[in-house]
Amino acid sequence: MLKQFQSSAAGALRNRHEEPMTAFHEFYQDDFRPRGHYLPMWEHIQITGQQMLGSKAHDAHLALHNEGVTFTVYSDADEGIERVWPFDILPRIIPAAEWRQIEAGIKQRIRALNLFLKDLYHGQRILKDGVIPPELIYRGKDFRREIMDIDPPHDIYTHISGVDLIRDEAGNYLVLEDNLRTPSGVSYMIENRIIERRILPEFFARYRVRRVEHYPELLLQALRHLSPRGEDSAVIVVLTPGIFNSAYFEHTFLAKEMGVELAEGRDLVCKNNRVYLKTTQGLRQVDVIYRRVDDDFLDPLVFRPDSMLGVAGVINAWRAGQVAIVNAPGAGIADDKAVYAYVPDIIRYYLGESPILASVPTYQMTNAQDLAYVLENMPTMVIKAVAESGGYGMLMGPSSTAVQRAEFARKIVENPRNYIAQPVVQISRHLCYLDGELESRHLDLRPFAIYGREIEVVPGGLTRVAMTKGSLVVNSSQGGGSKDTWVLADL
């Protein structure tokens, strides 16, 4: 049994030769020995053998299925709209010192981006000082003139952020994207942990793993903090577009865990700059809306008039300070992929500090030199539509066809502001237990930060795994899987 396992692991290592050798391996050192923080787990696996992993993986899948932990993949029409959440039982482990750097970097970034948003929708000092080209903002799809000069409670725009991190070939953490609109995945982070604790209690006995399960509690505290009528009487709702949304599971999960109402647009009504929940006892004033509805659909009086998902008048209530909207409308311009390239400058401008976390080099297609370079080197580039997320509107150069590249080149030239390009980073890999074998797969990390009274980064996050061998696309909506993420406590 043990022999069989070891040969599989060795096979997984040999398979490294089938892929570029440059990706950092989270689990193994260069001499193929497990890294120090993985040793206790490794030793345990060696003792129990591979069959144990197979049985645990089966149990995990069954538990996810029974508990209805699902995710919708729109292109998966043949399989119905929902899939059981794909989960790999081997956890990713982050030592305390590494986490301290991640945490500090994310807090710094969120502080700077909130100051940026406040400035952008008010005095626009950063544009006047020429730090960011105004054209970049005014051509941005998510820059919302409709909210100019509105003051959100406590000047917070991004109450919930999901910052996507990758590790480059040298193992350095880099920010890949800021998700500041309605980042999803947090429920899966918690479910992963619940399942992992149940399936692998013996692993937890060997580590001091920091909790993530208190996220709903932290979120609830932050939402209460925003209440215009005070924390004690805060009425909070989670506003969902409904059951057909890919993250509907998460909406119900968070509402349930926080003990607040899950509402659709039709359940709410505005009058005299206040928002009310329709209940069997009559109208009940709402103080905080954690909305999972995109800006475009949030208020038909202000944004898309044909939206049936939002609440007419909610922006006026927000402007009047009678309700808090989480995240604030208009926050999306700060995670526009073209603005992303300027985040280091934004940090220096508002905070006078050097960025703690580096960014991936980014080519602006509005820059003629960058454009020419990218068009010549498309096979080595990742090209992204600036306002898309979830892996949509993206070209992975190395795996693209000539036809796909020609199509993207045409789109870029037609609307250069809508695209950016980045060199392909061989993002780090980790061992995964897949179909009875130990295989290496690329992954990223989405830690979640909550901005209430202060910024708190939940120690952990959603580790997303590219389930297809060699693939660098980890997005859940593109068929990616996940791992539990263990942040170790200081000794």
Q: Does 130 bind another protein (CB under 8 A)?
A: yes
In 3D space, the residue among 45, 88, 44 whose CA is nearest the CA of residue 192 turns out to be 88
Number of separate helices (H) and strands (E) present in the chain: 16, 23
Q: Does 63 bind another protein (CB under 8 A)?
A: no
Q: Does 148 bind another protein (CB under 8 A)?
A: yes
Q: Does 414 bind another protein (CB under 8 A)?
A: no
Residue of 138, 229, 284, 368 interacting with another protein (CB under 8 A): 138
In 3D space, the residue among 20, 215, 187 whose CA is nearest the CA of residue 87 turns out to be 187
First to last CA, the chain: 34
CB of 375 to another protein, least distance (A): 22
Nearer residue to another protein within complex by CB, 86 or 416: 416
Is the Cα dihedral 290, 293, 298, 303 positive or negative?
A: positive
Q: Does 17 bind another protein (CB under 8 A)?
A: no
Q: Does 131 bind another protein (CB under 8 A)?
A: no
Nearer residue to another protein within complex by CB, 233 or 272: 272
Site for another protein in 225-244 (CB under 8 A): none
Q: Does 305 bind another protein (CB under 8 A)?
A: yes
Return all residues near 206 (Cβ < 8 A) that are at least 6 apart: 40, 41, 44
Residue of 269, 356, 375, 424 interacting with another protein (CB under 8 A): 269
DSSP string covering 229-278: T-STT--EEEE---TTSTTHHHHHHHHHHHT-EEE-GGGEEEETTEEEEE
Cβ atoms 249, 69 nearer than 8 A:
yes
Q: What are φ and ψ of residue 21, in 5° steps?
A: -80, -5
Distance in angstroms (rounded) separating the CA atoms of residues 486 and 456: 17
CB of 160 to another protein, least distance (A): 25
Nearer residue to another protein within complex by CB, 198 or 278: 278
CB of 122 to another protein, least distance (A): 11
CB of 127 to another protein, least distance (A): 4
In 3D space, the residue among 114, 145, 152 whose CA is nearest the CA of residue 319 turns out to be 152
CB of 303 to another protein, least distance (A): 11
Site for another protein in 311-330 (CB under 8 A): 312-313, 316, 319-320
# residues near another protein by CB under 8 A = 28
DSSP string covering 97-159: HHHHHHHHHHHHHHHHHHHHHHHHTTT-HHHHTTSS-HHHHHT-TT--GGGTT---GGG-S-S
CB of 281 to another protein, least distance (A): 17
Nearer residue to another protein within complex by CB, 127 or 356: 127
Q: Which stretch binds another protein (CB under 8 A): 154-162, 165-173, 301-309, 433-441?
A: 301-309
Q: Which stretch binds another protein (CB under 8 A): 85-93, 101-109, 140-148, 214-222?
A: 140-148
Tokens of 174: 């880099």
Q: Does 282 bind another protein (CB under 8 A)?
A: no
CB of 238 to another protein, least distance (A): 21
Residue of 300, 329, 479, 480 interacting with another protein (CB under 8 A): 300
Residue of 137, 175, 209, 465 interacting with another protein (CB under 8 A): 137
Burial class from Cβ neighbours inside 10 Å (0-12, 13-18, 19+) for residue 361 reads exposed
Cβ atoms 328, 117 nearer than 8 A:
yes
Distance in angstroms (rounded) separating the CA atoms of residues 162 and 476: 14
Which amino acid does the sequence have at 312?
Answer: A
Q: Does 149 bind another protein (CB under 8 A)?
A: yes
Site for another protein in 106-125 (CB under 8 A): 124
Q: Which stretch binds another protein (CB under 8 A): 126-134, 181-189, 199-207, 350-358?
A: 126-134
Distance in angstroms (rounded) separating the CA atoms of residues 116 and 110: 10
Per CB under 8 A, residues contacting another protein are 124, 127-128, 130, 134-135, 137-139, 145-149, 269-273, 300-302, 305, 312-313, 316, 319-320
